[in-house]
């Protein structure tokens, strides 16, 4: 999961804004690399995504940013002023991914639950978290191949690292088997056992729909 | 932390204001209780009513509580509700208590939009959010309930 | 220290799988050694009304087992009163209490789950 660093700068960026940018890029690239710190373009590396935003801006408002220069890490932690590379590394550590579990208990097409779960999953991954879905009860239908509402987005989530598990006994009850589900869904033979472990030990946050 | 000397001539931080902020460089605390409310109208009265009773109980104990209106829950936040003729209790009274006690009510914008509801249709004090902001609530909350 | 799980059941027996999901989840968590609380709320209070023996698997039987295994079960008194559910009607060992008993549980829990609608 990449760390997202959003840098908020005045227009045009003054000395402090540029120094902060340099410090961020020091952390992202390591030192001794040439780069243009006044450029507005976003940067993507193996471990980082850096976005430059003006202050004020819609993004600044969404993050609750009240001044520039400033940074926001993984949409979670904000810091103001000319922060040193060491402090930036410390903040990155504090803004680590959170393990979020989402249990789905309903079929996909009758209500907004599944749309919301897919959107939450997408946004949670974008924000650098780890997301797992557990399909329980009628929720197993969310994994069905060919469902126009869910298939593409679910496959996308799986490809982006979201783990999806489905309860075998509920699949059996519904007349489903692994071949009828999208690729990449794991089957749980002991859903209650596994779910208790996930809820109580593995997941830091859990929501149920 | 930034000092005025760090800022060049084109940077205008109000550092005094920011230095006064407690924990400006730390994660904000989230809700003690996050209620995801997916039911909303008087046809499904029980869920929202029971949900907000819990919300108000948590606030009475001086913990913080947030209700997120999504899916049909969008309707729960509509202003000028008057169920007197169908002889049900008025949600608005409880919503006002909840807000007055310091609770937050957030409404998921996509849920409102597809129901033709606008900010203007909602009780004052309800804030609109998108999915990424909902994720932030989930990341920070302590316990959640779904109704 | 042993972790605590609190479950809220908001649906009655037979109308959906939620009552079974809640009680089965409670039983499994208890079996694995956690402290488990189960709050019967709204129409969930009716689950306690299923107290007689039957020839088929039923959630009342599972709820009685959960109580025996040490799951703490409580009923919202307001919800019970609204439905005229009284002590003699329900499975023994489930007190009818106020909402602040539930908020106490919330306070002490590591995780909370709802079995909903």
Report the neighbours of A using a cutoff of 3 or more CB pairs below 8 angstroms: B, C
Q: What is the predicted pLDDT for the residue at B35?
A: 97
Model confidence at B24: pLDDT above 80: no
What does pTM read for this prediction?
0.83
Mutate to test the interface with B, among C103, C110, C111, C113 (most CBs of B within 10 A): C103
What is the per-residue pLDDT for B1?
Answer: 46
Tens-binned pLDDT, residue by residue, of chain C (117 aa):
899 999 999 999 999 999 999 999 999 999 999 999 999 999 999 999 999 999 999 999 999 999 999 999 999 999 999 999 999 999 999 999 999 999 999 999 999 999 986
Give residue limits of the domains in chain C.
4-115
- The answer as to whether B111 is a domain residue is yes
Tell me whether residue B23 is in a domain: no
Q: Which helix (H) or strand (E) holds A123?
A: helix A113-126
Q: How far apart are CA B44 and CA B48, in angstroms?
A: 8
Shortest CA gap C88–chain A (Å):
32
Question: How large a percentage of chain C has pLDDT more than 70?
Answer: 99
Task: Specify the CATH number for the domain of residue B46.
Answer: 3.40.1260.10
Residue of C nearest to A194 (CA): C28
Average pLDDT on B47-73 reads: 93
Domain that residue B115 falls in? 33-146
List of chain A residues whose C-beta atoms are within 8 Å of the C-beta of residue C25: 192, 195-196
Residue C3 Ramachandran class (φ > 0 left, ψ -120 to 50 alpha, else beta):
beta
- Between A151-159 and A113-126, two packed helices, what is the crossing angle to 10 degrees? 20
**Three-state secondary structure call for residue C90:** coil
Number of domains in chain B: 1
- Predicted confidence at residue B8, as pLDDT, reads 43
The residue extents of the domains of chain A are 3-94, 99-208
Per-residue pLDDT tens over the stretch C43-74 = 999 999 999 999 999 999 999 999 999 999 99
B53 contacts chain C (CB < 8 A): yes
Q: Does pLDDT of B26 surpass 50?
A: no
A174–chain C Cβ distance below 8 A for any pair = no
Residue B4 has pLDDT above 60, yes or no: no
Fold (topology level) of A3-94: Glutaredoxin (3.40.30)
Provide the pLDDT confidence category of residue B77 given band limits of 50, 70 and 90: very high
**pLDDT tier, B16 (very low <50, low <70, confident <90, very high otherwise):** very low
Residues in a beta bridge with B127 = B106
* b/e map A66-100, b = 16+ CB within 10 Å: bbbbbbbbbbbbbbbbbbebebbeebbeebebbeb
Q: At B34, phi and psi to the nearest 5?
A: -115, 120
In a 3-state reduction of DSSP, which class is residue A23? Answer: helix
CATH number of A99-208: 3.40.1260.10
Q: Inter-chain contact B2–A82, Cβ cutoff 8 Å?
A: yes
Per residue of chain A (209 residues), give pLDDT as tens.
688 999 999 999 899 999 999 999 999 988 756 666 666 778 888 889 999 999 999 999 888 899 999 999 988 788 999 999 999 999 998 888 899 999 999 999 888 999 999 999 999 988 878 999 999 999 999 999 999 999 999 999 999 999 999 999 999 999 999 999 999 999 999 999 999 999 999 999 999 99
Between β-strands A205-208 and C4-9, what pairing exists: parallel, antiparallel or unpaired? unpaired
How far apart are the CA of A193 and the nearest CA of chain C, in angstroms?
Answer: 6
Q: Which fold has domain C4-115?
A: Hypothetical Protein Ychn; Chain: A, (3.40.1260)
* Closest by Cα among B96, B103, B102, B108 to B72: B108
DSSP notation for A56-108: SSHHHHHHT--SSSEEEETTTEEEESS--HHHHHHHHHHT---EEEEEE-S-S
> What's the pLDDT score for residue A34?
65
Contact B12, B4 (CB under 8 A): no
CA distance C29 to chain A (A): 6
Whether residue B69 lies inside any domain: the answer is yes
């Amino acid at each position: 999961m990449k760390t997202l660093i959003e840098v908020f700068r005045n227009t045009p960026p003054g000395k402090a804004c540029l120094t902060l940018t340099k410090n961020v890029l020091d952390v992202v690239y390591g030192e001794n690399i040439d780069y243009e710190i006044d450029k507005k373009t976003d940067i993507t590396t193996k471990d980082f995504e850096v976005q430059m935003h003006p202050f004020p801006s819609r993004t600044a408002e969404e993050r609750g940013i009240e001044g520039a220069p400033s940074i926001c890490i993984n949409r979670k932690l904000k810091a103001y002023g000319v922060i040193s590379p060491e402090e930036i590394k410390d903040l990155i550590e504090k803004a680590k991914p959170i393990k979020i579990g989402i249990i789905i208990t309903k079929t996909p097409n009758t209500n907004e639950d599944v749309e919301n779960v897919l959107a939450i999953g997408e946004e949670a991954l974008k924000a650098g978290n780890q997301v797992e879905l557990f399909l329980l009860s009628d929720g197993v239908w969310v994994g069905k191949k060919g469902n126009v509402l869910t298939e593409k987005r679910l496959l996308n989530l799986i490809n982006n690292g979201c783990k999806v598990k489905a309860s075998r006994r509920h699949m059996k009850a519904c007349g489903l088997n692994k071949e009828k589900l999208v690729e990449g869904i794991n089957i749980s033979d002991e859903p209650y056992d596994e779910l208790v472990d996930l809820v109580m030990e593995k997941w830091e946050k859990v929501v149920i729909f | 932390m930034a000092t005025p000397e760090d800022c060049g001539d084109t940077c205008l931080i109000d550092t005094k204001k920011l230095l006064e902020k407690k924990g400006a460089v730390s994660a904000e605390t989230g809700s003690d209780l996050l209620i995801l409310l997916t039911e909303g109208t008087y046809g499904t009265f029980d869920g929202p009513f029971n949900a907000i009773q819990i919300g108000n109980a948590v606030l009475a104990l001086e913990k913080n509580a947030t209700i997120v209106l999504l899916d049909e829950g969008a309707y729960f936040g509509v202003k000028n509700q008057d169920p007197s003729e169908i002889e049900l209790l008025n949600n608005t009274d409880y919503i006002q208590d909840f807000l007055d006690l310091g609770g937050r009510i957030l409404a998921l914008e996509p849920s409102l939009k597809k129901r033709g509801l606008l900010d203007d249709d909602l009780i004052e004090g309800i804030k609109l959010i998108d999915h990424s902001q909902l994720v932030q609530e989930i990341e920070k909350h302590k316990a959640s309930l779904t109704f | 220290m042993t972790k605590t799980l609190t479950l809220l059941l908001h649906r009655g027996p037979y109308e959906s799988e939620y009552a079974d999901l809640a009680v089965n989840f409670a039983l499994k968590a208890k079996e694995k050694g956690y402290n488990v609380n189960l709050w019967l709320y709204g129409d969930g209070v009716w689950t306690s009304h299923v107290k007689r023996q039957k020839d088929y698997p039923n959630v009342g039987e599972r709820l009685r087992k959960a109580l025996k295994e040490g799951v703490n079960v409580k009923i919202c008194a307001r919800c019970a009163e609204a439905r005229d559910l009284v002590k003699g009607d329900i499975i023994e060992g489930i007190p009818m209490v106020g909402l602040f008993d539930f908020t106490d549980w919330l306070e002490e829990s590591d995780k909370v789950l709802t079995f909903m609608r």
